[in-house]
Amino acid sequence: MNEPLDALVRRLQAGDRTAFDGIYEQTRKTVYFSVLPILRDRSLADDIVQDSYLKMLDSIHSYREDNFVAYLVTIAKNLAYNEYKRRTRVVYTDADLDTIAPFSYESQLEIKAGNEAIIRKALSVLDETEKSVFLLHNVSDLPHREIALVLDKPIGTITWLYSRAVKKIRAAVKED
C-alpha cells in the first residue's frame, strides 16, 4: 500500500531511514524529468537526481511541511542549473555547435517498429511544449500537477496544453 508522501517525510524527519524508499518511488520520475531538459543528458540527469536525494537527506530536518515535491524539485533544479553553468563555461567552436542537438522528450521515446510512423505523425502536429506535456503525462505517467512543477507553468496552463495536444493528435490521426 502506498503511504502518503507527507507521512513518509515525517517518518524520515523522525529518523526512520526506511521511509526513504517510499519517498524515492513516489518522486523519482518528477525529479528526473525536471532536470533532464536542463542537462540534456540522461546519465548526467541520473547523477543530479542522486545528488538531489543526498542533499535532501542532509537537509530533511530543515524542511517545513508545505509541498515536498516542490522542495525536492527545487533542490534538483538548482543542482542541475549549477552543473549546466559549470559545463557551459567551456568554449565551443562552430563545429561543436553543429553537433549539439536540441533536447526533446520525443528523443527519449522507445517506440515499437510497427507504431513508429503513426506516433511520429501524431507528435509532429504538436509544438515542443504540447509534446512535452503530452509525453510526460502519457509516457512518464506524471499527473498534471507534477508536470506543472517540472515545466514551471501553472496547472491550468498544463491542463489546457494537454487538452489542445489531444485534440490536435485526434485530428491528425483522423486524417489518416
Residue 98 lies in a domain: no
For residue 111, is pLDDT > 50?
A: no
Mean pLDDT, rounded, for 67-92: 84
Q: What are 24-74's pLDDT values in tens digits?
A: 999 999 999 889 888 888 899 999 999 999 999 999 999 987 889 989 999
* Domain shared by 80 and 119, yes or no: no
Residue with cell 535532501: 56
Q: Please check whether residues 72 and 9 belong to one and the same domain.
A: yes
**Tens digits of residue pLDDT in 143-154:** 888 888 878 889
Of 22, 36, 23, nearest in space to 72 by CA: 23
Report the number of distinct structural domains present in the chain.
2
Q: What is the C-alpha separation between 49 and 51, in angstroms, rounded?
A: 5
Is the pLDDT reported for residue 13 higher than 70? yes
Burial class (CB in 10 A: 0-12, 13-18, 19+), 51: middle
User: Do residues 83 and 125 share a domain?
Assistant: no
**What's the grid cell of residue 65?**
511541511
Which is nearest to 104 in space by CA: 115, 118, 88, 120? 120
Whether 72 and 112 map to the same domain: the answer is no
What's the grid cell of residue 86?
559549470
Average pLDDT of every residue of the chain: 82
The answer on 77 and 139 residing in a single domain is no
Q: What pTM was estimated for this model as a whole?
A: 0.60
